[in-house]
Structure 1
Amino acid sequence: MPGTTRPPSHVPPSQAPADSRPAEAPAVFPDSVRDRNFGLFWAGQTLGQLGVQTGAVLLPVLAVSLLSAGDLEVGVLKAAQSLAFLVVGLPAGAWVDHWLKRGVMIRADLARFAITLAIPLLWYLGILQMWHLWACAALLGIATVFFDVAYQSAVPLLVDSRSVAQANARLEATGQASRLVGPALGGWLLHLVLAPVLFIGQAAGYLASAACLWGVRDREQPKAPCVRGRLWPEIREGLAYVVRHRLIKHIVAATAIMNFFSTIVFTLMPVLVLRTLGLDPAHLGMAYSAGAVGGLLAAAATPYLARRIGEGTVLPISTALTGTAMAGFPLSVLAPGPLPAFAVLAGSMFALTAGVLVYNILQVSLRQRICPPGLLGRANASIRFLVWGVVPPAALLAGVLGERLGTVPALWIGVAGSVAAALPLVFSPLARMRVLPDGPEEDGPEQEVSEEGRSQQAARRP
């Protein structure tokens, strides 16, 4: 989901049914979550996220306030940010499966550092235009696709399989802490300096992330380079696994629906806040920070909710909460003044981000545990292609709807569709599963697995 976006104990496939496993989680984090490599990786992502979140409000604020962008131009900007998922999303997964994940992440961070610095440079030279923002957003999106595919495949290389969900919970908790501080800090700094200057801070976050990743040592070994003739068969293999898996296909359907309709909402949110409600960028930043508070609490509460309600049952509940909470955005126009309107926005962001975080921690953890290691990069890329590939057309649709119907009616369309995203989960096996599977399933999914994937999966069996 926009803005949203990461987050995820392995037992042999011959295990008893998953529901027979003890529901209680370990009381402490295993040692692999405490060692130097994961700590350095964790620190790098925390610093990087702080820089990214400080700049989270900058692109739309720069477009609306400095370049006087309308609904359609803001929609094109949002589409440009996510276009890479359609263009390079699938081949990126096949390539990353053959590349060292840490090296991919370092190169992606350095590319994002250089692209981000171009924005204040163009502004300083007095030539910054809207198409420059579209181009930079598209290039940043390409680098982010490679970073994110490698990132989600890197966690299992740093910690043992029983620690994957706990490692992701830590990463999500600090990511939410960055989202708590970053947007509010960015909004406040906009009172002191112009938006283009603040992109320097965002660039510094990417550089800090690359520096920390440089010091990490993982157990990944170089693989044979991807053979050109095998690229598309490997892509098809990853897609086939995702769309045929008895659990993952429902997660993909729900996430894609949510991303499509929530993109309409979040594309128009800066227009709603800055133009319709007449609030300033600091209020926009503080609204995102209120959402981060909800996400931070949700990251801590997810293990408890999973034990009490059921790991699978929580998924449709958290999705429905996310969609319903978005109704606060169009309802904010009915508030009697600026402060009540901001309170409604902040409360909505709090609730919807809490729902997103619970959902993401559990579904990403499930994917990382049940996907065969030889397919993980391609599976992640295929999922991202399917669930983020809907964002560019949704962003363009948001701009058209905003221009034709008005900002508020377009928001209501996004809210209605977001609530409906829970339906694929309600009518799936996940809704009835108190405990989710803990390793690659032997008979569950219909799948095509490469020889490498089969050999690695067999090696994990007793």
Structure 2
Amino acid sequence: MKAGLSARVPLLLRETAFRRFWAGQTASLIGDQISLIAVPLAAVLVLGAGAAEMGWLKTAELLPALLLNIPAGSWADRRPDRRRIMIATDLARAALLVSLPVAYALDALSLVQLYVVAFGVGALTVLFEVCHATLFVALLPAERFVQGNSLLNGSRSLSWLTGPSIGGLLVQTLTAPVALLVDGLTYLASAGCLARIRPEEPAPAPPGKGQFTEGMRWMLKDRSMRAVTAAAGTVQFFNFMFHTLFVLYATTELGLSPGVLGAVLGAGAVGGLLGAVCTTRVVGRFGIGPSIVVGFAGFTLPLLLIPMAQGPRPLVVGMLVAGEFLSCAGVMLTDIAASSLQLAMIPEAIRSRVLGACRTLNHGFRPLGAMTAGALGTAIGLRPTLWIATAGAVLSVVWLLPSPVPRIRTLPGAPAHSPAGGATAADSPPAAPEPGTEVSPASDRRA
């Protein structure tokens, strides 16, 4: 019985170093979802924040990703100890979050402190993320990138499913600031797991000119990179248009209760789990490039069901559930396949800088999409704006079709018949494959 159970455990999780890395990330992701509810509820329920204050809070949270990714990536590439940097950021984020319940207990909590904590956690998260990819690559060979990313994104979907429920229960029973203690503990768990692994990290990049611009220049220099970057940016812009208005549309125009809306979002989390589980097989069957194209289409096309929803209540709810479920499954395929391609293609010496440049461009479209949604929603209404948002997101695939991406079958550096690629080397592009880009932020559609 025990042998049969252990046989069901994914092979990568039987490897101690990766299992500890994965466990720490899983705990941290669940904590992130708790804070996603607890921080704004602390602002609203404890401090009486209004719309303007909530806007400033969201801006403080998003601003570091826009401003700091490139300098953080440049600095991280010159460091030999990125694992220690990640541990330090985990400890610092825990300390910042713990400061909120401490201030609440002392009756000193303020909106200014919430803004500072939101900005600080966002800045530290930027630094953690630009180091994360280097550690991931140090733990796994190229042919196992898809499997490793599938496990990590499965944890992300699990956090979508469980985190908000846990966060809501904690806020209801302990108050919002005290609930953030739990998020602080998840960062400590992540730091503890990272402290127990010792991967051989790549050598730091030598100092030189163009440190800040090299990642951006490398990212933009070839067709594959430009195509996936443009597709990801298009998705970011229109997806944030969509999510800025989705809750308002579902509750006011469709008349859904919070409980039903929660069930709809829960269906999306289940779809994400299914997508993470199936991605390795899909990539093995069709190849890495075609999977990216299918993932973008699978992510965006189902969202057309949302503005289309009308009629009897069961039909409306069914259309929303189907849209969320299928879209989140597509997100996982896109995220895992594109992230694996980018990790295999980016040279070690500039990996953090390229990732920082990718995240800067992708995150830059988010506030633009949110502001556009507000203006259009006021001018032409919620449903017409959602039609524009969902239809515009579908157009992201157009960037990929004429590019080399659909012809890339295997990951660079992976064996010809590896499960990560599925096809033979003869199916791959010529000798030096063109670089991919980061699409991971597309999976932040829950933010």
Q: What is the CA–CA distance in structure 1 between the aligned matches of 2:330 and 2:37, rounded to whole Å?
A: 21
1:116-131 mapped onto 2 (5 Å cutoff): 116-124=97-105
Comparing 345-354 with 419-428, which one deviates more in the overlay? 345-354
Q: 1:238 — aligned with what?
A: 215
TM-score where L is the length of structure 1 = 0.78
Q: What is the CA–CA distance in structure 1 between the aligned matches of 2:112 and 2:382, rounded to whole Å?
A: 23
Instruction: For 1:233, give the aligned amino acid.
Output: G
TM superposition shift of 1:51: 1.7
Q: 1:216 — aligned with what?
A: 197
TM superposition shift of 1:37: 1.5
Q: What is the CA–CA distance in structure 1 between the aligned matches of 2:260 and 2:57, rounded to whole Å?
A: 21
TM superposition shift of 1:304: 2.2
Q: Contact 2:346 / 2:435 at 8 angstroms: preserved in 1?
A: no
Cα distance change on mapping 1:135 and 1:162 into 2, 3 Å: same
Q: 2:439 — aligned with what?
A: none
Q: Contact 2:138 / 2:202 at 8 angstroms: preserved in 1?
A: no
Q: How many percent of aligned residue pairs carry the same amino acid? A: 33
TM-score where L is the length of structure 2 = 0.80
1:309 to 277, 280, 286: 286
Instruction: For 2:125, give the aligned amino acid.
Output: T
2:366 to 391, 394, 419: 391
TM superposition shift of 1:218: 1.4
1:56-95 mapped onto 2 (5 Å cutoff): 56-60=36-40, 67=48, 69-70=50-51, 76-95=56-75
Q: What is the CA–CA distance in structure 2 between the aligned matches of 1:218 and 1:428, rounded to whole Å?
A: 35
Q: What is the CA–CA distance in structure 1 between the aligned matches of 2:135 and 2:90, rounded to whole Å?
A: 15
Cα distance change on mapping 1:401 and 1:385 into 2, 3 Å: same
TM superposition shift of 1:394: 2.6
Comparing 416-425 with 182-191, which one deviates more in the overlay? 182-191
Q: What is the CA–CA distance in structure 1 between the aligned matches of 2:300 and 2:44, rounded to whole Å?
A: 26
1:102-251 mapped onto 2 (5 Å cutoff): 102-124=83-105, 132-220=113-201, 223=204, 227=207, 230=208, 233-251=210-228
Comparing 183-192 with 173-182, which one deviates more in the overlay? 183-192
1:367 to 315, 337, 342: 342
Q: What is the CA–CA distance in structure 1 between the aligned matches of 2:110 and 2:316, rounded to whole Å?
A: 32
Q: 2:237 — aligned with what?
A: 260
1:182-209 residue CA offsets vs partner (Å, 9 max, x unmatched): 2233345555454333222222211211
**Residue 96 in 1 paired to residue 96 in 2?**
no
Q: What is the CA–CA distance in structure 1 between the aligned matches of 2:381 and 2:44, rounded to whole Å?
A: 16
Instruction: For 1:43, give the aligned amino acid.
Output: A
Q: What is the CA–CA distance in structure 1 between the aligned matches of 2:44 and 2:256, rounded to whole Å?
A: 13
TM superposition shift of 1:331: 4.6
Q: Contact 1:157 / 1:218 at 8 angstroms: preserved in 2?
A: yes
Which ranges in structure 2 are unaligned for 5 or more consecutive residues? 1-6, 415-428, 437-447
**Residue 43 in 1 paired to residue 18 in 2?**
no
Q: Helix, strand or coil for the counterpart of 1:364? A: helix
1:89-112 residue CA offsets vs partner (Å, 9 max, x unmatched): 101111111222211211221222
Cα distance change on mapping 1:443 and 1:401 into 2, 3 Å: same
Q: Helix, strand or coil for the counterpart of 2:200? A: coil
Which structure has the higher relative contact order (CA within 8 Å, separation 6+)?
Answer: 1
Q: Contact 1:116 / 1:203 at 8 angstroms: preserved in 2?
A: yes
1:350-365 mapped onto 2 (5 Å cutoff): 350-365=325-340
Q: Contact 2:94 / 2:188 at 8 angstroms: preserved in 1?
A: yes
Q: Contact 1:115 / 1:136 at 8 angstroms: preserved in 2?
A: yes
How many residues end up aligned between the 2 structures? 414
Q: What is the CA–CA distance in structure 2 between the aligned matches of 1:54 and 1:399, rounded to whole Å?
A: 26
TM superposition shift of 1:44: 0.8
1:270-317 residue CA offsets vs partner (Å, 9 max, x unmatched): 444566666566555544432221111111211222233342122222
Instruction: For 2:98, give the aligned amino acid.
Output: L
